[in-house]
Amino acid sequence: MIQHIATIKSCECAWCGIVDCSVIGFVGNLGGFSVSLRISGGYLKGRKLESPKDGLGVRPTTERVKLAIFSVIGTGGVEGKKCLDLFACTGALGIEALSRDAKSCDFVEKSYRNYKLINRNLRGLEISNTSRVFCKDSKGFLGQSEGGYGLVLLDPPFAMSDWDKLMGLIASPKIVDEEGITVAEHPAGTVLKNEYGPLKRFSKKRYGDSEVSFYGGRHG
């Protein structure tokens, strides 16, 4: 059952930051407002997701990037894992993980509009029973979460500057389990540390002006 916790705030995802769509498949027309997203792998492959109506100015990351992310973390990094999708926007990353047999996913998005959108996507795909949706600021959520995640996915607005604070919160002992993986998409050239507490970066990939950093205790 979807858990609803809602407060109305502005969006915090890269999509609505008018900089970069999350790491998701893209089908549509960037010249106007007709933008649709699709799932790239797993048992829901090819299914479309509802996206924000006002997609003007969005520059979607290619599906190649999303496929590369899940190739790096591998089947073992997803299957049976409790996942966390921060700055979730449409919920596309977490839904991708669920499609690839993650056990469950918590979605965190502070925009009430997009909070409702995620709920619609989950209901439309009939995966609400493995999901919880929180309408909260991602950093605030991390400070209150019970944690225990095996996979953390995050794609904040590219303008975000306090990466060390965010990664420090994720690195707290309770958030990611001992064999968990954290995947962070950020602008190329952003300086992230190789280690945040127990989290050690084991891979970094560049795709155009975006980079994806992969952290995990067992991979360090």
pLDDT of 76 > 70? The answer is yes
pLDDT of 77 > 70? The answer is yes
Distances (CA, A) of 53 to 44, 48, 113, 201, 214: 23, 14, 10, 36, 31
Mean pLDDT computed over 146-158: 93
Sheet (strand 35-38) strand order: 25-28, 35-38, 48-49
pLDDT tier at 25, thresholds 50, 70, 90: very low
pLDDT of 71 > 50? The answer is yes
Of 135, 152, 33, 137, which Cα lies nearest the Cα of 81?
Answer: 152
Mean pLDDT computed over 39-58: 79
Mean pLDDT computed over 206-212: 89
Report phi then psi at 15, rounded to 5: -55, -55
Distances (CA, A) of 213 to 11, 138, 144, 154, 178: 23, 18, 25, 10, 18
Query: What is the average pLDDT value for the chain, to the nearest integer?
Result: 82
Q: According to the model, what pLDDT value does residue 219 have?
A: 46
d(CA 2, CA 144) in angstroms, rounded, equals 18
> Token pair for residue 77?
């990094």
pLDDT of 37 > 90? The answer is no
Q: Which of 6-10, 78-82, 159-163, 164-168 has the lowest mean pLDDT?
A: 6-10
∠ at Cα 201 (38, 213), nearest 5°? 30
pLDDT of 157 > 70? The answer is yes
Fold of domain 4-219: Rossmann fold (3.40.50)
Mean pLDDT computed over 203-210: 90
- Strand pairing class (35-38; 195-196): unpaired
Please give the single-letter amino acid code of residue 211.
Answer: E
d(CA 210, CA 220) in angstroms, rounded, equals 22
pLDDT tier at 27, thresholds 50, 70, 90: very low
Mean pLDDT computed over 170-176: 93
pLDDT tier at 65, thresholds 50, 70, 90: confident
Please give the single-letter amino acid code of residue 220.
Answer: G
